[in-house]
């Protein structure tokens, strides 16, 4: 997969930060406001049904805008055989990176993280959205 030039007209992906079964994840900068960062998920699809499923999932994500519970989804677009999803960039990395850098979590930190996960799952359930993680 080659680096997309611009996504949603204003995001310029410049560094690939991950990849998986369904596509790639890029760090992007806002062309209109330099210094503003986002994550762009690029998901390839083969059929119109897959494209419709992705669009439905993104619309559901865009309805879940709660601070500290769900990473915000800002924009999305479809072009050729790929979906581009622009999401909030979390500078601190993921939980695995945090533990690798700082060591095991204290009980109060675990309690706080589990509470946030439970709130996020509750928000998904309230909207009849299933979550499957790889």
134 located within any domain? no
30 located within any domain? yes
Handedness of CA 54, 59, 65, 69 (dihedral sign): negative
Number of domains in the chain: 2
Domain span holding position 36: 1-91
133 located within any domain? no
Q: Is 33 annotated as a binding residue?
A: no
Among residues 119, 131, 118, 116, which one has the least CA distance to residue 61? 131
Q: What was the pLDDT predicted at 3?
A: 60
Q: What was the pLDDT predicted at 13?
A: 93
pTM, 2 dp: 0.77
Query: How far is CA 52 from its chain centroid?
Result: 18
Question: Please, are residues 86 and 38 in contact by the beta-carbon 8 Å criterion?
Answer: yes
Kindly give the parts of the chain with pLDDT less than 50. none
55 located within any domain? yes
| Same domain, residue pair 56 and 17 | yes
| Same domain, residue pair 60 and 6 | yes
């Amino acid at each position: 997969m080659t680096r997309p030039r611009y996504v949603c007209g204003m995001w310029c992906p410049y560094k690939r930060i991950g990849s998986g079964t369904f596509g790639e994840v890029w760090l992007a900068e806002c062309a209109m406001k330099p210094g503003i960062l986002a994550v762009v998920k690029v998901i390839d699809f083969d059929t119109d049904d897959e494209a419709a499923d992705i669009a439905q999932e993104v619309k559901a994500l865009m309805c879940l805008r709660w601070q500290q519970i769900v990473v915000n989804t800002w924009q999305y677009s479809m072009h050729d055989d790929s979906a581009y999803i622009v999401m909030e960039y979390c500078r601190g990395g993921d939980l695995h990176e945090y533990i690798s850098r700082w060591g095991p979590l204290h009980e109060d930190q675990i309690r706080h993280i589990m509470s946030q996960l439970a709130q996020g799952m509750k928000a998904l359930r309230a909207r009849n959205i299933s979550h499957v993680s790889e």
